[in-house]
Amino acid sequence: MFVVVWQFEVAEEKIAAFEAAYGVEGAWAKLFATSPEYRGTELLRDAYIPGGYVTIDRWTSEDAFRAFRKEHDAEYEALDRTCDALTSSERRVGAYSA
């Protein structure tokens, strides 16, 4: 298993749109699901910091994730640009093997 973790800060007025895009059935999950190696996404809301979120994307392996990124780079980058307006800040926490 390989996971990629991202941390976000979202303005209150953009929370609904952010959750729709980054949730388990959102635009990112739909893009990732084009790969049979994708194992799902979790969207976690911070219990104490309003607008604080973490996503956890799961893949069968790092190689599978890298292959997906290589094959779908244009779509990934386009969606990333579209979603930039939904967040105040975005930071990759890390990529981990389990």
pLDDT band at 10 (very low <50, low <70, confident <90, very high): very high
pLDDT at position 36 is 97
pLDDT digits (tens, 9 = 90+) for 27-72: 999 999 999 999 999 999 999 999 999 999 999 999 999 999 999 9
pLDDT at position 98 is 85
Q: What is the pTM of this model?
A: 0.93
Report CA dihedral (90, 42, 31, 61) to the nearest 10 degrees: 100
CA 56/CA 22 separation, integer angstroms:
10
pLDDT at position 64 is 98
Domains of the chain: 2-97 (3.30.70.100)
% of the chain beyond a pLDDT of 70? 100
Reference 57, options 77, 27, 85, 13; nearest CA is 27
